[in-house]
Amino acid sequence: MTPPFATRRNQKTDSAPNVVPVGRLPKNTLARLSVGLSFAENDAALRDDYVYVQTPAISAALNPDSSKFFFVGRRGTGKTALRTYCEREIRHSRVVVPEIFSPSSEIFDLELLASRKRAPFQSLVSAMKRTLIDELLILWAEGNSRADLPEDLAAEMADQCEEQFDERTLKYIADVARTVRYGDDVAIAKLNRPTKTLTDQCKLLAGRNGEYLLLLDSIDDFWDGSDLALIFLTAVIHACLEVSTQIPWARALLLLRENIFDRVRELDAESSRVETSLMGLDWTDGQLLELVERRLNRSLITKFPLGGPTWDAFFEQPEKTRAEIFEYCHQRPRDILIYVSHAIDMANERHHQRIQLEDVDAARRRFSDNRFKDLGDEYAENYPNISRVLSRFYGLGQRFTPGGIESLIRKLLADREVTELCRSWIYDHSTMVLFARLLYNIGFVGVQKPDSPAQFRALGPQETSPPPITDLDEVVIHKCYWDALDLRDVLIRELPEDRDFDDIGVLYDLPGGMDPLGYQEQLELLALRLDSIQLGAPGAADFEAAVGDVIKLCFFRALENVEHRVRDDEGVVVRDWVASNRAQTGFWAVMRDRYDATQVIWECKNYKSLKASDFHQVSYYSGNVAGRLVILAFRGDFQPSYFGHIKRIANANDGMVLPLGIRDLKAFVRQNRKGKISDGLIQDRYDQIVRQIS
């Protein structure tokens, strides 16, 4: 049980209120029903305690006596829900979204950090540990008097803790890099001393076991996949473990995507130290059923019982519909919610009062298309533009022999688009075993032994390699991709050398009718321009043009009809860029609904620090006609002083000004270069502001 101090006063119960036996649905229930949004950060349902399922991961995160500090799973397995629930339930909690995992320069000799037991890497861990302790001190001081702090902790609060997390962390890292560069062991030992002192004094602070909680999340938003970023993350993992085990009143939990953790596991010979503190985000069929039933029940005043009766009330032929949806979605909760949502839409279009099997069948193609695009986006950081390789399966078979996979690889290596866009990884996976292992690890294929069902990778981090593939085995594509790729029910033993790939059925949105290679070239040039623009008035026009290209190349799926230097009807107010918001889902759709942002205004400032006059200027830009959202692009990093200006504008006209610094702009470009389509980064920026000004 979670002790009273760790949770809010009103605990939720697992039993639904006003539960009644199964009966008929109230009329037009489906027309009013929403099971939530696929983009969990925007999902209003997560504000309702009733929708949460008590999974082992949630229980471990809430339990201050638990030894689980690392929660690892694939996209859509519940990391955001876990974070949100912990924020709601743990009184003293803070979410940290580190932005240090896209380092702009190689400040370390990576060979010096190769050994996890040597002083250079230990000093890096010490730096990461110190910045986590600083964040815990800030959290501790919110409910306690600073006068109770020991001398060194009080000095730390008055100095280092005044800085933002990333600014403080990068400063500590730079200190380590300078010291390590000179190879002075005495200086390195001296550098580590403050962290040890702070740790010892933290043990003296008042606080019950695990009472204060840090949640490190959204690592992939700023993840560039470089070797240095990987070393930084490995150091953070070791720092979280030390903080959680050495400071009795504190825990630091890290929520991480399994594809990123797999890279840490490959690099870190000491990763066995964290294995016992690892928790996968796996789901059982019973938990997934409860998840959907709670969402279906949520809008009803009188709720159906959980454990099957709710599903039976909403679905005709409940056993068939449940088997089809659950088997199709590979145990992933987000996918099941999306599929059910599509089925509800189909039922409403056909004026059905319950969801029928034909509604589920009709929703399958739409779900398959979305799942296929999401897979390429999920692994774009590890394997840039992997969606291009996956698209080459279009129109082929659902099953391959090892020889069929080998012939496919030969054709891929002869495909110029594939070799150009995927050159960073495709040649390293050019054998049948390595290529099949890659496809298995991302969940695209499974391995089927004779007279056995196909085996696919589990969602969590426990299973790291596919079963061995023999000549008698088949490589089977997961059925959730069959419709998107129009796969035939055939076994591919060999692909003719003279047959071209046919990916006409897989559509790619690219701006201005660009081909994939031309699009990549434009993004690469834009990345170079952002690094070379002169600050101030001399480079103002160049920066303005570059921001326009960021809008056109990175947000073209949501923002259209981008226009430069737009004047109002009196010709007085000039807006640098205005784009029409046509988004149907995700962050931009939320902005349109929340701020009536049918048009998104972008203002460009080619300097590092925004002034009060900049916020005063853009406050005139928003209105009820075009909307009340303004994006303020500038060359520096976000400063805490900006919160006051944004809050003033929000209170004055219920508007929002969203500053985006140069690191954000470069991150948007980097993600699109790798084929990643995600609103996560800009969503985090928005969430950070809303939490501070609310």
Residue 84's H or E segment, with its range, is: helix 79-89
Per-residue pLDDT, 573: 60
Beta bridge partners of 602: 577, 631
- Of the candidates 235, 208, 206, which has an alpha carbon nearest to the alpha carbon of residue 219? 235
**pLDDT class of 459 with cuts at 50, 70, 90:** low
**pLDDT score of 624 more than 80:** no
Asked if residue 599 belongs to a domain, the reply is yes
Structural domain for 526, as ranges: 511-693
Residue 541 shares a structural domain with residue 397: no
Residue that terminates a domain, selected from 253, 280, 307? 280
Helical pair 119-141 and 151-158, crossing angle rounded to 10 deg: 80
Torsion of CA 378, 379, 380, 385, to 10 degrees: -110
H/E/C letters for each residue in 617-634?
Answer: HHCCCCECCCECEEEEEE
Per-residue pLDDT, 228: 86
**pLDDT class of 105 with cuts at 50, 70, 90:** low
- Lowest-pLDDT choice from 234-243, 483-492, 678-687: 678-687
Per-residue pLDDT, 507: 47
Q: What is the mean pLDDT of the chain?
A: 85
Mean pLDDT, to the nearest integer, of 506-511? 60
Residue 480 shares a structural domain with residue 539: no
Residue 515 shares a structural domain with residue 487: no
Per-residue pLDDT, 185: 76
Mean pLDDT, to the nearest integer, of 485-494? 90
Asked if residue 30 belongs to a domain, the reply is no
Which residues, 6 or more positions from 406, have their beta carbon under 8 angstroms from its beta carbon? 432
Question: The pTM is what?
Answer: 0.76
- Of the candidates 687, 682, 508, which has an alpha carbon nearest to the alpha carbon of residue 600? 682
Whole-number percent of the chain with pLDDT over 70: 88
Asked if residue 313 belongs to a domain, the reply is no
Residue 440 shares a structural domain with residue 552: no
Per-residue pLDDT, 550: 93
Mean pLDDT, to the nearest integer, of 279-303? 91
Per-residue pLDDT of 43-64, as tens digits, reads 777 888 888 999 999 999 999 9
Residue that terminates a domain, selected from 254, 280, 306? 280
- Lowest-pLDDT choice from 60-69, 448-457, 509-518: 509-518
Residue 267 shares a structural domain with residue 126: yes
Which residues, 6 or more positions from 594, have their beta carbon under 8 angstroms from its beta carbon? 656
Residue 439 shares a structural domain with residue 580: no
Residue that terminates a domain, selected from 280, 299, 320? 280
Residue 447 shares a structural domain with residue 546: no
Per-residue pLDDT, 462: 57
Q: Which two tokens stand for residue 483?
A: 């419709």
Residue of higher predicted confidence among 313 and 14: 313
Distance, in Å, from the CA atom of 209 to the CA atom of 250, rounded to the nearest integer, reads 7
**pLDDT score of 677 more than 50:** yes
Asked if residue 311 belongs to a domain, the reply is no
Q: Residue 687 maps to which CATH number?
A: 3.40.91
Mean pLDDT, to the nearest integer, of 586-608? 89
Q: Which residue has the tokens 């060999």?
A: 494
Contact of 405 with 447, CB cutoff 8 Å:
no
Q: Domain tally for the chain?
A: 3
**pLDDT class of 498 with cuts at 50, 70, 90:** low
Per-residue pLDDT, 541: 92
Residue 117 shares a structural domain with residue 259: yes
**pLDDT score of 566 more than 90:** no
Instruction: Compute how many other C-beta atoms are within 10 angstroms of the C-beta atom of residue 73.
Output: 26
Asked if residue 391 belongs to a domain, the reply is yes
**pLDDT score of 391 more than 80:** yes
Asked if residue 295 belongs to a domain, the reply is no
Which residues, 6 or more positions from 494, have their beta carbon under 8 angstroms from its beta carbon? 403, 404, 407
Per-residue pLDDT, 534: 93
Helical pair 357-378 and 318-328, crossing angle rounded to 10 deg: 10
Asked if residue 642 belongs to a domain, the reply is yes
- Lowest-pLDDT choice from 25-34, 96-105, 408-417, 605-614: 96-105
Contact of 224 with 102, CB cutoff 8 Å:
yes
Per-residue pLDDT, 5: 37
**pLDDT score of 328 more than 90:** no
Per-residue pLDDT, 253: 96
Per-residue pLDDT of 517-542, as tens digits, reads 888 889 999 999 998 999 999 999 99
- Of the candidates 678, 650, 675, which has an alpha carbon nearest to the alpha carbon of residue 664? 678
The letter for the amino acid at 533 is: I
Contact of 658 with 632, CB cutoff 8 Å:
yes
Per-residue pLDDT, 110: 66
Per-residue pLDDT, 42: 63
DSSP assignment string, 165-218: HHHHHHHHHHHHHHHHHHT-HHHHHHHHHHHHHHHHHHTTS---TT-EEEEE--
Distance, in Å, from the CA atom of 292 to the CA atom of 302, rounded to the nearest integer, reads 17
Distance, in Å, from the CA atom of 588 to the CA atom of 508, rounded to the nearest integer, reads 20
Residue 653 shares a structural domain with residue 520: yes
Distances 362 to 312, 345, 561 between C-alpha atoms, Å: 20, 10, 33
Residue 448 shares a structural domain with residue 595: no
Alpha carbons within 13 angstroms on the beta-carbon side of residue 13 total 4
**pLDDT class of 557 with cuts at 50, 70, 90:** confident
Asked if residue 564 belongs to a domain, the reply is yes
Residue 91 shares a structural domain with residue 209: yes
Residue 539 shares a structural domain with residue 453: no
Polymer length of the chain: 694
Per-residue pLDDT, 504: 43
